Amino acid sequence: MKGNCMIVQSGGPTAVINNSMVGIIDAILQSPFSGKIYGAAGGIHGLLNESFIILNHLSIQDRYRLRWTPGAALGTWRHKLTAADVERIVAILRENDVRFFFYIGGNGSMNVAKAIGEYADAVGYEIAVIGVPKSIDNDLVGTDHSPGYGSAAKFLATSVLDIQMDMASYPVSNRITIIETMGRHTGWLAGACSLAEIADSNSQMLIYIPEVPFQLQDCLEKVSRAYEEKRNTVLIVAEGIRNSQGKVIHEDHLEYDSLGRLKLGGVSSCLKEAIEESTGIATRTISSSIWQRSSITLASKTDVDEAYSIGKEAWHQAEEGKTGVMVAMKRQSEEGKYSVLYQSVELEETAGKERFVPAEWYDPIQNAMTKQFKDYVLPIIQGEMLVPMEGGLPRYQRVM
């Protein structure tokens, strides 16, 4: 097979993103392909500035270690692509005889891959453009779930369970604890905390997601009632929860990022202030921040294996002559046993679009996730990672 390959990692890192990269490399090295495998150092920044790493020479041991290394080993960069950028990228790909282009990222990244593929086609440059899904937010359209989500969900549910065990240490306690998760427009991550619900505990769990308007007064009434009943309250809030007007509840205190989006985070502090001012009840906040996307020791083995397999599948689809597609997973459930099939969806169907938590998977009266939601998430958090340690700490692998 003629030409070279290019792998780019884009958007926010995940605990398993490197598995997809290694999956692509392993599949290529097991094929008749004899060209170079380039990695763009620093994501799209490396691509625009022709900063490439040759990945063919990564040893088996190096690739193996990368599979338990969190973060984007090739590096990543948030950048709003212009038409001139797309033109330059295609020119660079042509100059380096890149005929297979793999873009690992979320819905915004699929939009970039789509633009690159369309421009290459318009100027008559033959190249296979394959999108490889990655998102802890689980908001990619066209796939049952996104690699990265299962591990983040497992981390959050475990963390909430740990916190509840700590709270249960005190026989008489009526504390309010707010836990903030990522989730700009969707509540997949906040919802995953529902897996940590304990039926017979002395706590109530209230979950608030961006898909359903946040009702402050109702929240205040529920936490006050639990306080009077000598019960703890755990509030799970996605960073992007909105009021009935569709406005982020602390929008007036936020700035904008390089992509023109609100820099979210801090909703837990805003809610803490509102609760303490209205009820006088002392409230604490916990932000999982980037830990939810970077913890490999609490990663889901199912997620790790699927991220790797989806990378291998990306190469197989390129070998088959596919282009302008994203690799996707279709859930199978035969006799109650979970598995996935790998397929492809047109980038047109997923680029720039968002997948929301279905309305029927959330109970707005109880502020809780339904059994349907839990049944959906539970299979993809299964399995544990055995991360090799040195000196009591994980041994990670770097590429750059």
Catalytic positions, written as ranges? 137
The residues pairing with 393 across neighbouring beta strands, listed in sequence order, are 390
Q: How many CA atoms lie within 13 A of 102 on its CB side?
A: 33
Query: Do 280 and 272 form a contact (C-beta atoms < 8 A)?
Result: no
Q: Kindly calculate the radius of gyration of the chain based on its CA atoms and give it in whole angstroms.
A: 22
Angle at 73 between CA 71 and CA 76, to 5 degrees: 75
Query: Do 182 and 106 form a contact (C-beta atoms < 8 A)?
Result: no
Query: Do 115 and 331 form a contact (C-beta atoms < 8 A)?
Result: no
User: Cα 220 vs. chain centroid, distance in angstroms?
Assistant: 31
175: closest CA among 224, 262, 124, 233?
233
Which residue type occupies 339? S
24 secondary structure, DSSP code = H
Q: State the DSSP H helix or E strand holding residue 307, giving kind and residue range, or none if neither.
A: helix 301-319
Query: Do 54 and 36 form a contact (C-beta atoms < 8 A)?
Result: yes
